[in-house]
Every structure is written in C-alpha cells, then in structure tokens.
Structure 1
C-alpha cells in the first residue's frame, strides 16, 4: 500500500511540469547545446505534426499568428550552430530526409525559422565537415534576413549576412505553400472552363452559363474573367471558319454573364476582342478576323453594347477600303446591317457618305476608275449598302431568328446592362483604368451637355404630345397609352414589333395591342399598310393575337351602320390585306349573313363589296389560295354559298372586269385540290 502511494506521488510530481517547461527553466547559456536544441525541435515538430515547414493537411493560416514568437534556439551562438550542423549531418545518415530551420535576421536579434539541409551520402557528409564551417554552411544552410525578433532567453547578437540580405526577398510563411500550387489551380480552372465552352450550344446555353457563374465566383474575379475571356476568344477566332450560329451562341453567353456577374466582365471581354481584332487585322489574317467580326456583331445584336461602337469601327474601315476592309464591312452589314439602320439612321447615313467619298477618291487616283474598285466583293458590299439604305431586307431577316436565345435574354432583361458610349479608340487605349467603360460615357455626355439637354427637352415634348393624342383616341389605361407610344414612335415595323414584345404586359393586357393597332389604323387620314404588316407579325408570333383580332373585327362589323365612310374604307382595306397575307381566312366573315337581303343594308353592301374588290385586285394564284382555304371545312358551307351570292349580285354585276376573278374564286370554293403557295 505504501509502495503504491509513493509511486502515485512520484507520478503526480512528474506531471506537474512538462519537459518543455523544464527546458525553458534551464540556463540556456551554460547548459543547452546544439544537439539538445535539434532534439527538442524534432520532438516539438512531431507533436505539432509539422512537416516541411507547414502543418499537415490544409493550411488554416495559423502560422500567421506566430510571426512575433521566435524559435527556442534564437539565442544560440555561432559555435553552437556549427555543432548543430555536425550533429544533424551525422544523424541524417540513419534517418530519412527532413527539413529543419531557416535563420532569418535583419538586426542584432536572431530568428531561426527554416533550415534547408541538402541530404547526401555519408561520405559526402564527412567531406563537407572536413571543409569547415564555411563549406558546410555554404552548401547546407540557407540564411534569410527577416525583421528583428525578441527572444525569451538572454539576447545573443549575431552579424548579418549582407550578400544574402540583398539577393533574397522575404515571403510570409503562410504564402510560401501557395506559390507552388498557383499554376496547377489556374490550369485546372482553365480546363474546366474550356470543357464547358466546348459543350456550349443553343439548347444548353442557360445551364452552362449558370455553371460558369459558379466557377466565376469560386476564384478571384480578375483570374476567372481573364480565363473565360481568353477561352471565348480562342474558341471563336481559331480553328475552322465559324458560322453565325456559333458566334450567336457565344455572344448570348457573354450577354448572360454580363447580367449575372456585372457588365465589367463584358467590357473587359470587348476590349480584349478589339485587341485581338487589331492583331489579326495587322497580320492580314482573313479567317480569324471574320470570326471575331461575327462575334462582335452578335454582341451588338444581343445588347451588350450600343451601335456607337460598330459605327465607329465602320467609319475607320471606310477610310481606306482595302480588300480586308471591304470583307469586314460586308460581314458586319450582312449580320447586323438592318439593326444598325433602325437604331441610328443618321449614323448610317454618315457611314454611307464616308464610303461614297472614299469611292470617289479611288476613282480619281485610278484614272480609269476600274483598277482599284472593280472587284466582285466591292460590288457586293455596295449592293448590300444600297439594300440597307432602301430598307430592303433579305429573306432570313423576315423571320425571327434564335427564338430560344432571345426568350432567355428577355427573361434576364439584359438590356438593363447595355454599355453605352463606347468608342473603338477607347477599347485600344493602353492607359485605360478603373471603370473606364463608365467614365468614357460620362465624359461623352459632359462634352455634349447642351446637346443632350436639348435632345431630352425635345423628347419630353414629344412624349407629352403623344400622351395628349392617346387621350383623344380613347387610350384610357396605362397599358394602352404605352402601346400607342411604342407604335407611333417606332422607326419601322420590326422596331415596333420588338419593342411591343419587350413591354411584357401582365395578364391579358397584351390583348390591347391588337385593339390599339386597329384603332390607330382606322383613325388615319390615309390608309397605311404599316399597321397591317405589324398586325401580321404579331399574329404569326402569338396565335392569341390572331383570335383577338378576329373578335375586334366582329365588333366593328356590328357597328358598320354608325361608321363614317372613311373609317369603313380603311377597315375594308385592312381586312383585305390580312386575307391576302394569309394571316386571316375568309372564315372571319362567318358572322355576317351575306345571303340575307334583309340584313344587307346599303352601308353593309358597300363595305363588303370593297373587301372583295380589293381581294380581286391580287393575282389569280393569291385569289385561288384565299378562297381555297375555306373550301374543305363542312361547317363553312353556308359561308361559301353566301360569298357566291354576294359576289355575283353586288360585285360582278356592277363591275364586269371582275368576272374572270370570280370564276377563279368559284373553282377554288368547289375544289379539293391543294393550295398553290
């Protein structure tokens, strides 16, 4: 029992102080040796699980908390350091390669943080020891200069190493482990982004953009923006000849990213695109230049920036009109020429004048006027400019392209992030800094403050006039007034169509669009086909608009008796145009009893006679198709008989010139043949 108590007492006394506390209480000047020092350092490293100068596992930044706490060997002298060298070299033959401490000094104090010992064979160790302290220290210990550190023991002054102090810069310990992994992390993100861009298409555009946003926020913004920009430009410029769909998908991706992460991303990408464009232009590389031009054009189409930048580039290209200039201008005009004309007709006029002036200069310098301008590409460019000037669209521009992309971008409302006032020279400016895409816009406005103020006043007055006119026409709701202002202030049909789609009216308020169009058409002094073409576009885009138009026409048919003759004429021509464009069919007349002489008043007879006379003015093929569309349906038998009766009694009897057209109409109504489109 007594032995157990003694043993327990001895254990409690032994546990009162740790070995490290005993070590601190030792007289460091007299008792500690280099051998003991390294022994304690290794034990401490093993306890703290320190390997190669850093904690095992993920660096949690704890090293930064101990910057002001020195090592326990800060107070060692030169002789003891040399003794530590010999001990470490002797013990390294038996043990595996390890890293020790580095001596860092900046003044009289000493701070040993990390010693990199180059392990060799035992024979090599002996040779180094024989060389003395100079040879051993030169080959095995790296001494770095750091800030002075306070020690816990007595202060020991060591001399600096001036040669190493100037050649080696200090790097914080918690940053040393990141330097080696930086390039690998960069390449890993680059491979991930490249893989996503390689799979980018119109169908998965939204999902890949969301993944790219996640990657963008996972690392530094500048790094992620730089990688994405480089990969997008590389994908679009290098490789085979790119098509418009490929450029459109990448431009839509950039527009979506600009909304989701900020327009500084799109601004930096456009600046890099301009730099790549200039490089390819100077190298006269036509294929990469065309691919970059397509991307630039679709970035404009998808509202990443305004038309100012494109017009600035076109003016620059028109100054020389070399072959590569002509090719680039032609690519831009074929891709976005009509949109450029709609956005800024005045700038388009200035560009055309610039081209004409350059053509006159080329004719004057060539003498005969043929050597510099007589080539097919130049002729095609001039023909394209002429078509744009005359608002003559190509067949592909009559259809709404990239419907899925446009729907997604409208949902994001990317027009809110459009960059305004960009100039080509600003993109290439090497001294631009800060939010340069915003500062350029502000500078542009500041230089033209009076002009901008005058333009704003004019726009306010125009809006006030439009609102007063809307009130006189019975536009009694905010939705109808907005629709009216869009229709009356648009440049052309396509501009009005796109603006009406962007109104995004809630609920069934979009049905007011067709009512406002019809009311505006009937109140004009002269009939304007602008309203029929706009209504046709809307009906083809949304079938609900077609149904709304039918109900509006039926309501007007009921009020024919109280309608003035001019309004009745406009309504008749409107219906005839909608039938001739095959937006509506003659089934719209099924609510009218054309064979009932009691209901056919002079006013109603006059109105429907004008409709059929306008139809008969079309070619036979169009007349055939108009009447053939109601020939098969059995529920329209009454309508077919009513049409034959009305045309025979009230149209052909008064004008024998329509007899031939009536024969075509009758054969179409009795035929089961296909339509002749």
Structure 2
C-alpha cells in the first residue's frame, strides 16, 4: 500500500470523512441553538432540566421526524421518562409530601423506619443528583454557564406537553392540599402530630431470655441472696412440712434431720427454723392439733440435732411475734402463741419463758394482749399452775391490779372488749381454783409423747430464758445455755464479789472432798458439783458436761451414794438426782445397783446413821421405780444364820419405809417381781422376813394391812398394776 507523507491513503480518506461529519454536526448544533432561544421566550422562566441525550445525526431519523410519522409506545415512554427526569427536585419533594399525606405515613416520609444503615450512605449522591449535579443549584435552577454545552434532544412540542401535564399535576396537588387542610382543622393534623410524637417514644419490646426461670412473688426478695442449693433445700423442707401430721411426724423429722446434717448448722437452723415459723405465722388459722404436731417436730429435731436448733427457733418465733403484734395481725399471733404453748408442753422451753411473756402482756393488756393471754391459758394454763404455782399466783395478782386500773379510767373501758376481758378473768379464776371446764379436756397425744420419751426429750429443756433475751439483737455464742445473765459495767463489782465468794466456797468444797476421801480429781469435781448445785436439774446438767473417758462415769453414782450416807439427816435431794440419772442412761442404773450391793456387804461394820440413810435411799428409789425389789436377790433374807442384828435392823427400816407409801404404790412395787420365775426364792424370802421381823414387831394395824397387800401382789402372776 502506498504511503503519502507518512500516512496511507486509507487513513487520509478516513480523516476527510470525519472532518466532513464534524462540520455538518456543528452546523446542526447552531441551528438547534437558535430555535431554543426563540422557544424559551414563551416558556416558564424556570424551564425543566433536560437530560444529556446524544442523537446520531442520521438522515433516516431526520426524515422520519420531518414526515411526522407516529412513534411507538416505547419511544414515547423514553421521551416522557427523559422529560420527567428533567423535573426539578422541588417537584419530587412536593409529590412525595402529597403521597405521604394521602397514605397517612408518619413523619411525612415514604421511607421505612431507620434501621441504622442510612448512616453508611451519608455523603453519597443519588442517581438523579449525579445526573443533574452540574445543571441544578440549591434552588433547583439551571446553571447557564454549562447550558451551551448540552445537547437538547426534545422538540418544542414535547416541552408544551410537559408544561400542560405539570399544570395538571399542580392543580391536583392544590386540591388534595385543601382537602387535607380541612381534615387538619377537624383534628387530623393533631393526630399526625401526636402519632409522630408517639413514634419518637416507641420502644422495642424486650427480648425474653428462655434460660431465665420463673420465681414466685414471695421468693423474689431472697432470690438474689440465696444460692440454688439453699433454694432447693428450702423447697424440699417446705414440702415435707406441708405433709406433716401426727401419723408421719416421726418419719418426716428423720428426713429433715438428715437434710440438716447435710449442710452447715447455721444454714440448717436458719432455713428449717424459718420455714416452721413462716408456715405458722403466714398460714391459715391453726388449731391445737396443728400446733402440737409442729411443736413435736421441733422437740424431735432438738433431740436429733441439738438444742441450739430449738433455741434459735425460739428467737425467730419471738421476733416474728413482735412484728405481727405491731401489724395487729390477730391470726398470726394466735398461731405463734399456740406453737409456743405446745413447745412448753412438750418440754422444749420451760414455764419461766411463758410467765415472762404473760407478765409483758399483762402490763399493756390491750385487746390483742387479752386474746393472746386467753390462748396461752386455754392451751397450757394447768401445766403452768402445776409447775410453778407461785409465778401463777403473781400473774393472777398482776392481772387483777391492771384490770382494776383500767376500770377506774373511763378511757380504758372503750379500749378493751368487756366480754373478752370477763371471759379471761373467768379462765384465770378456774385455773387458780384447779377447775377444768367440760369442753377443755386436753388431747393427750399419746403417740407423740411416747415417741419423744423414746428420744429422751426431757434432756432438751431450755431453762433460764427470758422473753427479752430472745429479742436481744446482741446475743452471742451459746446464749441459750447462759440464761438471762447480762454482764454490764454497772454490776461489775457485784460480779467480782460473787466470783470471790464462789472461789472461797469452791476452796472449802475441795477441802471437804479431801476429808471425805475423794482422792482423785474426777471424784473431787463430781463432789463439788453435787454439793454446790442450785437444784437437782442444775447438778444433773453440770454432771453431764464433765469430760468422761471410758468407764469413769461410774464414779458419779458412787460419789452420790457416799454423799447421801454422810448426811446427818436423810436428804431426798440425792434420790431425786439419782432417779434423774437412772432415767437418762442405763449405765447409771447398773452402777447404782453394784454400789448398793457393795454397801450391803458392809452392813456389819456400818454406822447406824449411814445404815438408816442407805435404807431410806433404797426405799425411795423403789418407790420411784428406778430400782426394783430384785436388788435384794443378793441377800438371803430367809436364812436366820446370815441375819445378824444389824442386818435385820437395816432391812426392817427398809420395808417400813416402803409401807409408809399408799396401798397402790405398795401393790405396784411388789407386783413388779411377781411374774418373774427366776425370782421365786426372793419372793418366798420376802414373805418370811416381813412376817417374822416387820409385822411381828409392828405396833399398828397399818403394817399388817400393808403386809397382806404385799403378799397378794407377790402372788399376782398376771402383773396387773393398780
């Protein structure tokens, strides 16, 4: 191929052809711009924005346009769409507001709720803005500086069509705005405004956690403080207490005691004791059977796990009592009072605590106090009278004085129910006179008492407790063992004086123990406890606290019998203490038998006073059924060769002391050995000795009559007691 001037002929022809088309295109643009200037003079001062549209200046398209042939629907749609694209942004906004009002969209926006994604598109222009960014300013007007460079592909007829269509749209918008304005006057605008405000405050519903468990309303207070393990224990104990009755109290107490041992003692006392008090105070009206069963449960728990359980429960009961008293809840007060009264009946607390509460109530003597006093007296009034008649007398006198004071005051008569007060006074009078009403026969609860007797419930009795001590928030340590002794700065001198006196007495007792041939420290300690005890209960408790190892507990009975024989006059204190020890454990009973047999061997060399004290001691133990006549099986009372004058005198005093009791008691003493075949020799020897040495030497008919009763009792093989 030939190349001319460095270019080929083909390239030159191509450049010429392009130059020809360029010149033709420029001339066409000048013609179109002249037409636009003429048509713009008749249009709206704010013309619609025109789209960039490149039309290929082909002769075929020009020919079709000039001939005026009808266009296809797709071409018309493209022209309308391009024309609408030139509409201003203000028109779009007006149209959007009109549709929003028509559809009643909140906030006047057609867009959906803000989902947080719009922030990602901030700063980005829309497709419409990107097209007209160079043509439209803030007010929606066309920038004239770039219009000369645009290509207008629409004709004047098309602009007129768009103008007429725009006017129709503006008229429709005006009509709808007028309609919406009338609705606003009737409250429509207020509704939209209120809905907008409500939409601003709408909160999303909380998402429920499936793993969260339901907690009952009464347990929500302690739900955050208790662990799951303690909550399970509490629910288990509550279920057992709900099934508690007289028939299953023994088994349920065993189960709860097992639960108590599986946790710490403080947690066990708090959870179990709290459930007992809550079930009584927050439950329905309870009767005496209900209170008796729960009190038996408390007594059984104290026997199985320790008296600290019952002591802490009493403290919790006293606190709950005071709280319910301030609320004036008579139902809860009655339930708690019944529980406390039956705890006294079953030996959990002593009568001193009940009398202390009665004295507190008698000082106020409001209607609640009268109702509480009546509940106590009706449930355990006779027991209180039998245990401490002096305190009962003081209580009756205090009630009478307080009633007289209230009657003297005119204001006091309106505060108390007169009929209830009269009924309380009648009840107090009946108790004072030992008179029981026909409807007040107590329920014996034989099954419960046998079960508690088997558990040795007499050892769990709490003594020395006062109502103020139970309510004391500063009580520490084993406060239930110390009683109501409070050491303060005011009575320090009294305490020092008392301690010094006790030290002097202790020194004297130690010296006396040494004189009585108490040659070991254990014997000296037992001797000092027995001789310094306030009563037999105090001595009994102190003896049980001694640290014995092996068979050292046998020394208690030997020291006790020796102290009894050393007395110048026989003292029943030793028999009562010995009987209490025998009922506590069989080891003490066996030790006493062997000790008495040892003393029987020494009757020939024994002093007269010691022999007399020994005879009366054995007679008292037989009368209390702590020992039986089988203890005499080691003595041959039918062989005159072995019966020395001192021996005869000793056993004669023994049987005379037995015959001083009533006929029924004598019958029961001799009947206890009547049905035993191995004691046949003993029965015959007793008949011989009593007839030969007791009846023959007797001066009255009473001894002969008691002998006949004893002889018949020895023949009572059936063992029927009177």
TM-score range, shorter chain: 0.5 to 0.7
User: What is residue 274 of structure 1 aligned with on the other side?
Assistant: 321
For residues 535 and 84 of structure 1, the distance between their equivalents in structure 2, rounded to whole angstroms, comes to 96
Q: Give the aligned CA root-mean-square deviation in angstroms.
A: 5.3
Q: Which blocks of at least 5 consecutive residues in structure 2 are unaligned? A: 1-113, 123-191, 242-248, 409-417, 435-442
User: What is residue 291 of structure 1 aligned with on the other side?
Assistant: 335
User: What is residue 92 of structure 1 aligned with on the other side?
Assistant: none
- Residues 446, 501 of structure 1: alpha-carbon distance in 2 compared, 3 angstrom cutoff: same
Q: CA deviation at 1:209?
A: 5.0
Q: CA deviation at 1:229?
A: 6.9
User: What is residue 537 of structure 1 aligned with on the other side?
Assistant: 580
Q: CA deviation at 1:317?
A: 0.7
Bigger radius of gyration among the two: 2
- Residues 451, 248 of structure 1: alpha-carbon distance in 2 compared, 3 angstrom cutoff: farther
For residue 707 of structure 2, give the secondary structure of its aligned residue in structure 1.
helix
For residues 306 and 115 of structure 2, the distance between their equivalents in structure 1, rounded to whole angstroms, comes to 63
Q: Please show how residues 11-160 of structure 1 align to structure 2 within 5 Å.
A: 83-84=118-119, 138=200
For residues 228 and 626 of structure 1, the distance between their equivalents in structure 2, rounded to whole angstroms, comes to 45
For residues 372 and 463 of structure 1, the distance between their equivalents in structure 2, rounded to whole angstroms, comes to 57
| Preserved contact between residue 615 and residue 653 of structure 2 (Cα < 8 Å) | yes
1:669 and 2:706 equivalent?
A: no
Q: CA deviation at 1:327?
A: 2.0
> 330-339 or 496-505, which moves further after superposition?
330-339
For residue 243 of structure 1, give the secondary structure of its aligned residue in structure 2.
helix
| Preserved contact between residue 560 and residue 568 of structure 1 (Cα < 8 Å) | yes
Q: TM-score, normalised by structure 1?
A: 0.57
- Residues 595, 421 of structure 1: alpha-carbon distance in 2 compared, 3 angstrom cutoff: closer
> 581-590 or 444-453, which moves further after superposition?
444-453
Aligned counterpart in structure 2 of residue 326 of structure 1, from 362, 370, 373: 373
Q: Please show how residues 112-511 of structure 1 align to structure 2 within 5 Å.
A: 138=200, 183=215, 186=220, 193-200=234-241, 201-205=249-253, 207-208=255-256, 211=259, 231-237=275-281, 238-239=283-284, 240-241=286-287, 242-250=290-298, 269-270=316-317, 272-279=319-326, 282-285=328-331, 288-296=332-340, 313-321=357-365, 323-327=370-374, 329-330=376-377, 334=381, 337=384, 353=394, 355-363=396-404, 375=422, 377-378=424-425, 380-381=427-428, 402-403=452-453, 423=468, 436-438=474-476, 445-503=488-546, 505-511=548-554
- Residues 244, 483 of structure 1: alpha-carbon distance in 2 compared, 3 angstrom cutoff: farther
User: What is residue 168 of structure 2 aligned with on the other side?
Assistant: none
For residues 315 and 674 of structure 2, the distance between their equivalents in structure 1, rounded to whole angstroms, comes to 61
| Preserved contact between residue 670 and residue 713 of structure 2 (Cα < 8 Å) | yes
User: What is residue 633 of structure 2 aligned with on the other side?
Assistant: 590
| Preserved contact between residue 299 and residue 347 of structure 2 (Cα < 8 Å) | no
For residues 718 and 590 of structure 2, the distance between their equivalents in structure 1, rounded to whole angstroms, comes to 27
User: What is residue 527 of structure 1 aligned with on the other side?
Assistant: 570
Q: Give per-residue Cα distances to partners, 1:238-292, cap 9 Å, x unaligned.
A: 22223234134247769999999999x8698356413444146x2443xx32321
Q: CA deviation at 1:514?
A: 2.0
| Preserved contact between residue 522 and residue 570 of structure 1 (Cα < 8 Å) | yes
For residues 442 and 666 of structure 1, the distance between their equivalents in structure 2, rounded to whole angstroms, comes to 55
Q: CA deviation at 1:549?
A: 1.7
Q: CA deviation at 1:81?
A: 6.1
For residues 271 and 378 of structure 2, the distance between their equivalents in structure 1, rounded to whole angstroms, comes to 28
For residue 199 of structure 1, give the secondary structure of its aligned residue in structure 2.
helix
For residues 348 and 301 of structure 2, the distance between their equivalents in structure 1, rounded to whole angstroms, comes to 11
- Residues 552, 314 of structure 1: alpha-carbon distance in 2 compared, 3 angstrom cutoff: same
- Residues 310, 489 of structure 1: alpha-carbon distance in 2 compared, 3 angstrom cutoff: farther
| Preserved contact between residue 670 and residue 714 of structure 2 (Cα < 8 Å) | yes
For residue 402 of structure 1, give the secondary structure of its aligned residue in structure 2.
helix
- Residues 571, 227 of structure 1: alpha-carbon distance in 2 compared, 3 angstrom cutoff: closer
Q: CA deviation at 1:372?
A: 8.6
For residues 399 and 271 of structure 2, the distance between their equivalents in structure 1, rounded to whole angstroms, comes to 41
For residues 626 and 255 of structure 1, the distance between their equivalents in structure 2, rounded to whole angstroms, comes to 31
| Preserved contact between residue 321 and residue 333 of structure 2 (Cα < 8 Å) | no
Q: Give per-residue Cα distances to partners, 1:119-175, cap 9 Å, x unaligned.
A: xxxxxxxxxxx99xx999946899xxxxxxxxxxxxxxxxxxxxxxxxxxxxxxxxx
Q: CA deviation at 1:444?
A: 5.9
- Residues 531, 227 of structure 1: alpha-carbon distance in 2 compared, 3 angstrom cutoff: closer
Aligned residue-pair number:
486
- Residues 229, 576 of structure 1: alpha-carbon distance in 2 compared, 3 angstrom cutoff: closer
1:559 and 2:602 equivalent?
A: yes
Q: Give per-residue Cα distances to partners, 1:311-342, cap 9 Å, x unaligned.
A: 6533321214453242255379659959996x
For residues 244 and 235 of structure 1, the distance between their equivalents in structure 2, rounded to whole angstroms, comes to 14
Q: CA deviation at 1:396?
A: 9.9
Q: Please show how residues 526-675 of structure 1 align to structure 2 within 5 Å.
A: 526-657=569-700, 658-675=703-720
For residues 716 and 383 of structure 2, the distance between their equivalents in structure 1, rounded to whole angstroms, comes to 45
- Residues 373, 232 of structure 1: alpha-carbon distance in 2 compared, 3 angstrom cutoff: closer
Q: CA deviation at 1:541?
A: 3.6
For residues 458 and 267 of structure 1, the distance between their equivalents in structure 2, rounded to whole angstroms, comes to 34
| Preserved contact between residue 356 and residue 466 of structure 2 (Cα < 8 Å) | no
